[in-house]
Amino acid sequence: MEIKASMAGNVWKITVQQGEAVEEGQDVVILESMKMEIPIASEEKGVLKEWKVQEGDFVNEGDTIAIVE
């Protein structure tokens, strides 16, 4: 499953490392947009397989941030 950016912004903080297990609804990354912290959660339980972004990157709405399997 792909985790996607809910809105345009900067990747501020990655809170789960590659290879770590994630729960459904767990925040995996916090974007920074409109001066707000925007937590993005995994919609499914699984393992964080791959990060597609690094902290500091700009992402647009709908861009893939990470892959959870």
Q: Which one of 4-12, 15-23, 49-57 is the stretch in contact with another protein (CB under 8 A)?
A: 4-12
48 DSSP β-pair partners: 68
Q: Hey, which residues between 30 and 49 contact another protein (CB under 8 A)? A: 33-39
Alpha helix (H) residue ranges in 2-62: none
Task: Kindly state whether residue 7 participates in binding another protein, applying the rule CB under 8 A.
Answer: yes
With respect to another protein, which residue has the nearer C-beta, 50 or 58? 58
**How many CB atoms sit inside 10 A of residue 4's CB?**
16
Positions that interact with another protein (CB under 8 A): 6-8, 33-39, 60-61
